[in-house]
Structure formats: structure tokens, C-alpha cells
Amino acid sequence: MHQPIVVTADSLHVRSGPGRSFSITNKLTKNTRLSVSDRQGDWYYVESSGIQGWVFKKFTKTVALRSVQPSMQVAQRQPVYTLSKSLQHLKGKTIIIDAGHGGKDKGAIGTQGTYEKDLTLRTALILQNKLQKEGAHVILTRTRDEYVLLSQRTLQSTKADAFISVHYNSTNSSQLTGLMTYYYHQHQDSPLTHSIHQSLIEHAKLKDKGERFGNYYVLRENTRPSTLIELGFLSNEREETYINSISYQQMITSAIAEGLNHYFQNKEKTQTHL
């Protein structure tokens, strides 16, 4: 996308997510130039000169590409990660995306102050957009910064074809890095977990920490194929910076979509041979 814009208000808040309920991470002054790399409704995700976050579209205007400063031209040349192929097996599928934590439950807090609850929702919204473009019916357990009971999250999945709970990791050790995925019911959940995990490892430049059994409520009390994914460590400063980038968010959501497509493709093959 990478549309150049300029701030028109005297001051403009940069937020951690696409909405006024998200925390303020920076403040911009009038005439600041930025590069838009994503959009959710009336909110732009911007990247430029070390600034990353969401700004309200109303207080900006687009500018001609020729007037963009050199630092922005570099940002424009960065590749945007898109789906590598048509994901035809997603069409018509009902998929629940559970953005972990929310509201009073902040989840993990990164070394640079990233709230897990904000990052999981950001990932969920990007993933929702990609899956819908492939014809899937997508339901989010939350669409804003709100607290949702675990029982309400699983209740929404009763007729779903797949349930994905999105999380980011944290530990007392600042050295640990990597991603991992969890399942609870071996027969029901493991195939979904495996397909998504393999796709994540193929595309993400993170350490493979494996597929694991996880005794989590949203998996244990779920009657549909379910997985919980931990997409990196906020407790590692370098990894926190990486997983906050739009390039990582685009890459990781494309990987999840491709993993889902592979899961449904394999399931259809199995059913035709029964």
C-alpha cells in the first residue's frame, strides 16, 4: 500500500491499535510526513523514521509521491508480504479468531511497553481481512479493547470450522525467542495445529519452539478444531521490535491463512477417501 500522507492537525496521537481506546505510543506535530502501510476503517497504520502505530485518518491528507522525503522513499521500497497463492479451500468456512486478553486483562507487557492485548487484536484484524478476501466467514471474539470471559470466547465456536486463539509470549528470561503452538484434543486439534505451525515456521524468521499440549480453557472446553498460537516473545527486546513491525504482521497473518487452507485441503482429501 505505502501511501504517503502528512499530518494536518496541530498534534496527532499515534496509538497501539486502530481506535481511541488503544494506548498512545507517540505524538506527531503538524506537517509530519508518514507512509501508510495498512488501513482499518478510518485508521491508518503508519511507519516512518522510527515511528510505528495507528493514526486517525481525518487529521491527515495524502501527498504526491514526488514530494516524499528520502526516508519515506526507503519505506516505500520495502516489500509487502502477500498471500502467495489462491486459498480456495477457505471459501465458505467459518473461522473464529480469538484475540487473546483485552480490557482489564493486559496480558504480557513487552520490554518497550507493548501490551499483548493490543498486539493480538491488531493481528486478528489483519487476519480477518485476509480470510474474508478468500471467501471465509470470520467471527472475532472481540473487535475492540474489551474484557471477554473465556466461556464467551468458546461459546462462539460451536458451529465453527476452526478456532484460532492469538497470543504473544513473555518470560522472566529476556533471552528466550521463538514461536510455538498448542493443542488440547489430540484427534480434534492436532491436525489444525500442525498445519498452521508448519506454515508459520516456513515463513517466519523465528525459532521453532514446537507444537505442544496445552491445558488452556479455550482449547480444553472447545468442541471444534482449535489451536492457540504464541507468535513471539515480548520479553525479548529485539523480538518485540520485530513482531511489532507491519512486515511481520503481514507475513505472520499470511502464514496462518495458508496453514488454514492446507488444513482444510487435507481434510477434504481425507473425507473423499472414506
Establish whether 230 is a catalytic residue: yes
| Phi, psi for residue 220 in degrees, rounded to 5 | -60, -40
Residues shown for the chain: 274
The rounded distance, in Å, linking the Cα atoms of 238 and 177 is 9
Eight-class DSSP state of 19? S
Element (H, E) at 221: none
Among candidate residues 116, 134, 211, 230, the one labeled active-site is 230
* Residues 155 and 222: beta-carbon distance below 8 Å: no
The string of DSSP letters for 93-162 reads -EEEEEE--BTTB---B-TT--BHHHHHHHHHHHHHHHHHHTT-EEEES-SSS----HHHHHHTTTT-SE
With beta carbons less than 8 A apart as the criterion, state whether 123 and 221 touch.
Answer: no
Q: Report CA-CA distances (Å) from 204 to 127, 175, 243.
A: 15, 18, 10
Catalytic sites, residue numbers: 230
